Structure 1
Amino acid sequence: MADIIQLLPDHVANQIAAGEVVQRPASVVKELLENAIDAEASTIKLIIKDAGKTLIQVIDNGKGMSNTDARLSFERHATSKIKCADDLFQLHTKGFRGEALASIAAIAHVELKTKQEEDEVGCALVIEGSDVISQEVVVTPKGTSVSVKNLFYNIPARRNFLKSNTVELRHVIDEFQRVALAHPNITFAFYNNGNETFNLPVSNYRQRIVNIFGNKTNEKLVPVEEDTEVLKISGFVGKPEFAKKSRGEQYFFVNNRFIKSAYLNHAISSAFDGLLKSGTHPSYFLNLTVNPQTIDINIHPTKTEIKFDDEHTLYALLRAAVKHSLGQFNIAPVLDFDRDASLDTPYNISQSATVSAPTIEVDRSFNPFQDETSSRPRSTTYKKEPAASWEGLYVGLESKGTQTQDDFSEVHFESEESELVIFKDHNALEQVHTTYQISNKYIVSAIKSGMLVIDQHRAHQRILYEDFLQNITVKDAVSQQLLFPLQLHFSPQEVAVIEQLKEDLEHTGFVFSNLVDETVEITGVPVGVPDSEVSIILEQLISDIENEVPDSNFSAADLLAKSMAKSLAIKTGQSLEKEEQEHLVNKLFACKEPNVSPSNRMTFITMSVDELDKKFI
C-alpha cells in the first residue's frame, strides 16, 4: 500500500497558521500594534482604509530592524522574545510566537520599511503570499512602517466571510482602544479613510480613558487601588447609575495585556450586587499586575485568555477592592425621602430657652342635642352663627298637601339596580372574559380547538417590529415634538453610528436638531415613546449595530426596527388590563408573521382539548 501521509508545502502551512492568528482585519491591527510597542516606540500611527480590507498601515518610531532581521521576521517561528521553553513563563513583551508576520504575509500584500537609529539608510521589503518580491535599500525615518494590503486576496472564501465595513471597523476600533488603554505613556493616532478618528497624547490613565470614551466619562469613574504581595490592582470602575445594557466598556489588563475572563468579570458583578438595575452591566478599566511565573498566556492563539495559578485568591482580592472603593466614595443604595426643611431644629436657638406646653380649652357645657338658640356659656374666643333648628326643615311641607306626595312619587334614582347573579349564561361569560393573564407573562385565550397561550413580550416585539419596518419603508411615521429638547451624551464613535442611521431613525419618528462631537440633541420622538426611554433605545441600537453580524445584503432598517421593538416591547412582569390583552391578541394575528418574534422565537403555543384531556387521565 502506498504511503498517504506527506508534508504540507510551506505556503499551505502558513495559510493554515494564518487562520489561527488572522481571523479578520482587527487581528492584523492587534499584531502590528503590539510589535510596535515591543519595539519601544513612543509614537504609533494606525491608518485604515475600507475597514482594513484594502489597507492596514502601522507606523512607529521604535528602534527598527537590520536588513537581516527584517528578512527573518517573516519566517515562521522566528522571534527575538524567547530562546527556550522556560522563557514562556517570564514574558514581559506582547508577541513571542514568531507567527504573526509570517501568517499575515501568507494572505496579503505586505510592504515593510524599517531603519535603525545608527544606520544611514533603511530596508524596504515587499512580500506577496509568502513570496519575497523585492528587498531594497531605501531612505526612511527611524522606526518601522508595515503596510498590509488586500487582505485574504488569495483566499476568496475567507474574504467572503468578512462582515460589512461597519462591523469590521468596530472590531478594529476595539483592538485599537484595548492597546491604547494599556499604554497611556505612548502617543497613538488613528486615521480611517483619511479622517482622524483618534489622537491620543501621552497622559495618565484617567485622561486616556476620557480621551477615548468622551469627556462625560470623567464624572462616571471611581478609582480602585490595591497593592498586595499576590496582586496589584489599579484603575477605575463606573458608577452604578451609569451602568449600560451592553458589556462594551469592560476592560481587564494583566501585565499590560488585554484579557477576557468570565471568572474575574463575575467578581466585579458580585461587588456591584444590589447597586445595579436589572439587565445592566458595570463599566470597569482595571490593570492587574501579577508575577509572570503565576500565569500562562500561551493557551489561546489570540492570547486574550490567560490561565492563572490561583484564581480564587485573585477573585477575592478583586471583589474586595472594588467593594471597598464603592463604599469609600459613598456609592451605596440610599433611601431618599422628601424632607421638610421647616421641621429642622434651628441652630441659633438658645440652650436656656424654655418651651411652654400648649394649653387646651374644652367646652364642657357643650351638648350637641341642645337647641342652638338656647343661651349657654362659651369658652372659645370665636362666635358661631346659630344654625336653624331641625324643625325648620319641614316648614312649608304641610301647606303643599297632596302635591308633595305626587312629586316624591315621580323621583327617579340615578343609580341602577344591582343584581347579584351567581350563574350567568355561558356565551355571555365568554364575551366578557376572552383573555386571561398568567404571572404577568402569558396571555391565555380560548379558541375552538382548545387554548392559546401567548408570550406577551415576544408578541409585542413582533407587532412593533412590523410597525417600525413599515414606517421606515413608507417614510410616513408620526413624530411627537418635545417641549424641551433632549440632550444625550455619547462617545464620538457612538455618535458616528447614530449619524449613519440618522435618516432611518427620522423615518421612525425621531427628529434630530444637532449631532456634534459627543452630544445628540433630539426635538421629536416617535409617538408613544416616553422621553426616559430614548437614551435606552439609542444605547440598545448602538450595541446591536456594533455586535450584530450583518452580511452584504444586510438591511440597516431591519436591524433598526428589531432594536427599537426589543427596547419598547411590553416587558415580562407588566400587568395588562383586559382591553390591552385583547388588543395585543388582535394586533398579533393581524401581523404578516405572527408565529415568531423578530429574533425567530415562538410567540404563542396552542393546546387542543385532546391534549388537555390527557392531562387528567
Structure 2
Amino acid sequence: MSQRIAILPEIITNKIAAGEVVERPASVIKELIENALDAGATDIAVEVTAGGRRLMRITDNGHGMSREDALLSLERHATSKIKTDSDLESLLTLGFRGEALPSIASVSRFRLATREPDSLEGTEINMEGGRIRDVKACGMAPGTVISVEQLFFNTPARLKFLRSAETEAAHVADSVTRMAISRPDVAFCCTSDGRELLRVQRGDLLRRLTQILGKTSAAALHAVQSSAEGIEVTGFISSPTAARSTTSAMFTYINGRFVRDRVVQHAIMQAYRGVIDKGRYPVCALFIALPPGEVDVNVHPTKHEVRFRRQTLMHDTLQSAIEEVLKASPWLASRQVIAAPPTTPSVSQAYLERVAAAAQTSLNLPRREVPSYTAAQTAPRVSEPTPHFQSAPAVLEPPAAVAIELPEATEPPASAENGYFSSLTIIGQFHAEYLLCQSGNELVVIDQHAASERVAFQLLRRQYECGAVESQRLLFPETVELSFGEVATAQRFTAELSGIGFEMEPFGGNTIIVSAVPRLAIERDCIRLVRDLLGELSQLGASSAFHDIQESLLSRIACHSVIRGPRMLEHRQIRELLQRMDETDFAASCPHGRPVSHTITHAELEKIFKRT
C-alpha cells in the first residue's frame, strides 16, 4: 500500500506558522519590537514604505547577536528566552516561542544585521522566502537592524487580503503606540514613506500618555494605584467626559504585555457602569502586575490572549481599583482632601529591571542598567476662597411653573467636613430644572433631576445590599394586563422582584396583581415602572443573570421616583440635595451615566463677553 501520511517540508511548516504569527505588516512590527525590547534596547526606530508591503525596517540599540546566534535565531523554535518547560511558568520576557523570525523570513525578502557591543564587526544575513542567500560581515553600530521587503511575495493569497497602504500604515502606527505606552523608558520613532507618524522621548508614563493622546486627553486622566493578594494595578483612567465611542484608547497590559482580554475589559466596563453612557468607552492605560505563574500567556501565537489562574480575583481586584478612583470623582477640581499628593504611577521599575536581567541572563552578556525615571508628583490644586456672591432673586421659569422666590445666596457654615457640593454657594434656579451655584471663580450648573436620581439610586442600593428595598403596600392593589411572555417573566423572577420592593402575583390569563412597590416610587406611575422592569427582565435567560442587571433595575426605579421636569425648590431643599450628593458614590454622574454638573470658569465668561 502507498504511504498517505508524510512529514511536511520545513519551508511549508514555516509558512503555516507564518499564517498564525504574521497577519499583516503591523504584526511583523509587533514581533520585532518585542524582540528589541527583550534585547534591552532603549531607542527603537520603525520605518515602513507603502504601508509595509514594500519595506519594513526596525533599528534598535539592544545587545545584538554574535554570528552563531544570528544564524541560529532563524531556525524554528530557537530562542534565548527559555531553557526548560518550567520556564514557561516564570516568563518575564515578551517573546519566548522562537517562531517570529523564521516565520517572517519565510514570507518575505529578509535581511538581518546585528552586532554585539564588544565585537569589532557585525553580521549580515540575507534570506529570500525562508532560504539563506548570503552571510557576510558588516560594519554597523551595536544593536540590530532588520529589514523586511515585499511581504507575502510568495503567498499571493495572503497578499490580496492586505488593505490600502494608508490603512496598513495606520495599523503599524497603532501597534507602535501600544508598545510605546508599555515602555515609557524607551524612545520610539515611527515613519511612513518618509513622514513621521510618532516620535516620543524617554520619560514617565504620564508624559508618554501626554505625547501620544495629546494634552487635552491627558488632562482628563487620573491615577490608579492599588494592590491586593499579589495583584498590583497601576496606571491612569479618564473622567466620564473623556469617554470615546470605541475601545481604541483602552490600553491594558499584563506584566508589561499588551493584551485584549475579555475579563480585563469586562472589569473596566463594570467599574464604569452608571458613570458613562452605554456604547461609550473610557480612555485608560492600566498595568496589571501579578506573579508569572498566575497567568498563562502561551495561549495564542500572537500572545494577545491570556488565561488567569484566579480569574475572579483578578477581575474583582481590577474593578475595585478603578471604582475607588471613580467614587472620589477626582475630576471635580474642588473636591479634594488636603494631604500629600500621590505619586504618579508608572510602569514598575522593578519589572523593567527584571526584564533587563532576564534578557542579560539569557544572552550571557554583562548587565546593562535600565534607565530609571522618577514618577512626577501631582501638585495639589488649592481652591481659592469663595467670595460672597449676592444673587438676584428673579429666576427664569417655564410659564406653567409656580415661582417660589429663593433667598439670597449665602455661604454655607464653615466646616472642615464640607464636601464639594455642600461647600457650593447657592445662586438660584434656571428654568426650574437647573441649580446655579458658585465655587470660587467658577459657575457650577447642576441638573437637579440627575442629582436627585443619583441620591435616590444610592439609597435604593444601600437598602438592597442590607437585605431588601423598602416597599409600600398599595391600599388598592393594581391589576396589570401584560403579554403572556411578561407574565411568565414575572413568575420566574418573583423572588428577585420582591428583593427590590415589588410584590406581584398571577391573576389568571395575561393579568397580574401588583400589591406593593418600592416606597420611593409610590407617588409615581407605578404601573409604567412595572412594565418597564418586566420588559428588561424578559431579555434574561435565567434568574442567575438577575445580579448582572440589578443596578440597571435600581437606576430605573430611581429615575421613576424623583423630580422630572420643571420644579421649583426651596433653598432648604437645594441645600439638602447638595449635602446628600456628597454622601454618594460617583457623584459626578447619574446612574445612567449623564453628567450631574457642568462648570464654567470666570475666564470663559470673560471670553464670551469679550472682556479679555
Q: Shorter chain as normaliser: what TM range?
A: 0.5 to 0.7
Are 1:297 and 1:307, in contact at CA under 8 Å, matched by a contact in 2?
yes
Q: Does residue 144 of the first structure (1) align with residue 144 of the second (2)?
A: yes
Q: State the alpha-carbon separation in 1 of the partners of residues 269 and 99 from structure 2.
A: 36
User: Which stretches in structure 1 are left out of the alignment for 5+ residues?
Assistant: 350-438, 440-617
**1:153-302 correspondence runs (5 A):** 153-302=153-302
Structure 2 counterpart SS, 1:78: coil
Are 2:223 and 2:237, in contact at CA under 8 Å, matched by a contact in 1?
yes
Are 2:391 and 2:409, in contact at CA under 8 Å, matched by a contact in 1?
no
Q: State the alpha-carbon separation in 2 of the partners of residues 242 and 35 from structure 1.
A: 34
TM-score (norm 2): 0.55
Q: Does residue 32 of the first structure (1) align with residue 82 of the second (2)?
A: no
Q: State the alpha-carbon separation in 1 of the partners of residues 88 and 258 from structure 2.
A: 17
| 1:92 equivalent in structure 2 | 92
Q: State the alpha-carbon separation in 2 of the partners of residues 234 and 49 from structure 1.
A: 36
Shift of the 326–14 alpha-carbon distance from structure 1 to 2, 3 Å rule, reads same
TM-score (norm 1): 0.54
Q: State the alpha-carbon separation in 1 of the partners of residues 131 and 302 from structure 2.
A: 25
**1:537-556 correspondence runs (5 A):** none
Q: Deviations over 1:5-57 (max 9, x none)?
A: 11111111111111011011111000100010011011110011111111111
Amino acid paired to 2:391 = A
Q: Does residue 328 of the first structure (1) align with residue 328 of the second (2)?
A: yes
Shift of the 75–326 alpha-carbon distance from structure 1 to 2, 3 Å rule, reads same
Q: State the alpha-carbon separation in 2 of the partners of residues 348 and 188 from structure 1.
A: 52
Amino acid paired to 1:16 = I
**1:309-388 correspondence runs (5 A):** 309-330=309-330, 341-342=391-392, 343-344=407-408
Q: State the alpha-carbon separation in 1 of the partners of residues 330 and 101 from structure 2.
A: 49
Amino acid paired to 2:133 = I
User: Which stretches in structure 2 are left out of the alignment for 5+ residues?
Assistant: 335-388, 393-406, 414-530, 532-612
Q: State the alpha-carbon separation in 2 of the partners of residues 173 and 100 from structure 1.
A: 20
| 2:510 equivalent in structure 1 | none
Deviation at 1:278, TM superposition (A): 3.1
Amino acid paired to 1:239 = S
Are 2:38 and 2:94, in contact at CA under 8 Å, matched by a contact in 1?
yes
Structure 1 counterpart SS, 2:13: helix
| 1:135 equivalent in structure 2 | 135
Q: State the alpha-carbon separation in 1 of the partners of residues 282 and 326 from structure 2.
A: 12
Q: State the alpha-carbon separation in 2 of the partners of residues 276 and 346 from structure 1.
A: 33
Q: State the alpha-carbon separation in 2 of the partners of residues 312 and 273 from structure 1.
A: 18
Are 1:251 and 1:284, in contact at CA under 8 Å, matched by a contact in 2?
yes
| 1:74 equivalent in structure 2 | 74
Deviation at 1:283, TM superposition (A): 1.7
Deviation at 1:113, TM superposition (A): 0.8
Q: State the alpha-carbon separation in 2 of the partners of residues 315 and 329 from structure 1.
A: 22
Q: State the alpha-carbon separation in 2 of the partners of residues 269 and 206 from structure 1.
A: 22
Q: State the alpha-carbon separation in 1 of the partners of residues 306 and 408 from structure 2.
A: 57
Amino acid paired to 1:176 = V
Structure 2 counterpart SS, 1:154: coil
Q: Deviations over 1:93-138 (max 9, x none)?
A: 0110110000011000111111101111111110111111110011
Rg bigger for which structure?
Answer: 1
Q: State the alpha-carbon separation in 2 of the partners of residues 170 and 195 from structure 1.
A: 12
Structure 1 counterpart SS, 2:196: strand
Amino acid paired to 1:256 = G
Are 1:222 and 1:326, in contact at CA under 8 Å, matched by a contact in 2?
no
Q: Does residue 56 of the first structure (1) align with residue 56 of the second (2)?
A: yes
Deviation at 1:347, TM superposition (A): 6.4
Deviation at 1:168, TM superposition (A): 1.5
Amino acid paired to 2:165 = N
Q: State the alpha-carbon separation in 1 of the partners of residues 254 and 141 from structure 2.
A: 33
Are 1:111 and 1:146, in contact at CA under 8 Å, matched by a contact in 2?
yes
Amino acid paired to 1:194 = G
**1:575-586 correspondence runs (5 A):** none
Q: State the alpha-carbon separation in 2 of the partners of residues 220 and 58 from structure 1.
A: 33
Q: State the alpha-carbon separation in 2 of the partners of residues 341 and 246 from structure 1.
A: 43
Deviation at 1:166, TM superposition (A): 2.5
Q: State the alpha-carbon separation in 2 of the partners of residues 153 and 345 from structure 1.
A: 75
Amino acid paired to 1:276 = I
Q: State the alpha-carbon separation in 1 of the partners of residues 94 and 17 from structure 2.
A: 18
Are 1:222 and 1:329, in contact at CA under 8 Å, matched by a contact in 2?
no
Are 1:224 and 1:321, in contact at CA under 8 Å, matched by a contact in 2?
yes
